[in-house]
């Protein structure tokens, strides 16, 4: 099963390299959204520090959603998904490989850019570290939950809009606790550890249930 997982990851990474514009679109979208707020609101340091956690997390959430509709779409169009469904290996392992690749292409670049976001919004070093760690814990949850919605809306007309309506309510807890961790790190004597513990719990729950739920949704959508 590990060999299947690695094979799926390598395959999707190779396909992503052939469609670099799709990957760069997500990254540039995050950078543009982050950069527009200081231009529109102004360069007042206290204001930028106050809005930085919410802006960073909303931008990360929307950027992650951009690539979700294409998570299974190409495999569905060329018949690869049908081969995955009848493969002897568990479909959840194949799905997990595709979700991990989605995070590598969308979530990981956002995590790496987070320190630059902190500098742009005049965040202290503790807040920059908290933002990076919260995104490192939270972005995998966005990919895992988003995969369920992508599988449920596969092949539907107007699936992108329906996908947003399905998964945005599920993203709210991650958004609240992710931005809350950054906000707490900028407050005196405010506990930060509970936010990271909750984000870690979300990661564990999503890792356990999301691949299974996504595999079941793919079987329903393919019928």
Q: What is the mean pLDDT of the chain?
A: 87
For 69-117, write each residue's pLDDT tens digit: 788 888 887 778 888 888 888 888 999 999 999 999 999 999 999 888 8
CA dist list (Å): 123 to 42, 47, 75, 115, 130: 15, 11, 42, 9, 10
Query: Any idea how long the chain is?
Result: 223
As given in the structure block, the two tokens for residue 203 are 């990661």
Contact 72, 154 (CB under 8 A): yes
Rounded percentage of the chain residues whose pLDDT exceeds 90: 35
As given in the structure block, the two tokens for residue 58 are 């909303």
Q: Which of 173, 176, 169, 167 is nearest to 147 (CA)?
A: 167
Q: Which of 87, 111, 65, 125 is nearest to 8 (CA)?
A: 87
pTM of the model: 0.90
Q: What is the mean pLDDT of residues 187-208?
A: 91
Predicted local distance difference test score (pLDDT) of residue 158: 65
Contact 98, 72 (CB under 8 A): yes
Please report, for the chain, the start and end positions of each structural domain, with discontinuous segments joined by +.
Answer: 2-222
Q: State how far the Cα of 189 lies from the Cα of 84, in Å rounded to an integer.
A: 51
Q: Which of 66, 216, 204, 81 is nearest to 146 (CA)?
A: 66
Contact 133, 83 (CB under 8 A): no
Contact 113, 30 (CB under 8 A): yes
Q: Which of 19, 176, 34 is nearest to 105 (CA)?
A: 19
pLDDT above 80: residue 157? no
Q: State how far the Cα of 186 lies from the Cα of 128, in Å rounded to an integer.
A: 10
As given in the structure block, the two tokens for residue 49 are 């520090």
Could you identify the residue written with the tokens 């356990």? 208
pLDDT above 80: residue 167? yes
């Amino acid at each position: 099963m590990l060999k299947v997982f690695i094979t799926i990851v390598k395959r999707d990474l190779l396909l992503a390299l052939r469609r670099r514009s799709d990957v760069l679109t997500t990254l540039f979208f995050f950078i543009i959204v982050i950069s527009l707020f200081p231009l529109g609101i102004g360069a007042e340091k206290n204001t930028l520090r106050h809005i930085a956690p919410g802006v960073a997390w909303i931008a990360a959430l929307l950027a992650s959603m951009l690539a979700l509709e294409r998570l299974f779409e190409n495999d569905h169009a060329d018949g690869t998904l049908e081969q995955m469904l009848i493969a002897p290996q568990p479909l959840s392992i194949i799905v997990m490989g595709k979700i991990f690749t989605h995070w590598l292409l969308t979530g990981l670049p956002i995590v790496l850019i987070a320190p630059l976001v902190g500098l742009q919004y005049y965040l202290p070093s503790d807040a920059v570290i908290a933002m990076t760690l919260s995104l490192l814990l939270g972005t995998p949850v966005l990919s895992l939950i988003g995969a369920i919605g992508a599988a449920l809306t596969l092949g539907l007309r107007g699936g992108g809009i329906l996908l947003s309506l399905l998964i945005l309510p599920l993203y709210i807890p991650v958004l609240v606790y992710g931005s809350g961790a950054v906000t707490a790190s900028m407050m005196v004597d405010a506990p930060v550890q509970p936010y990271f513990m909750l984000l870690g719990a979300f990661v564990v729950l999503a890792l356990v249930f999301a691949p299974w739920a996504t595999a079941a949704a793919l079987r329903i959508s393919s019928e």
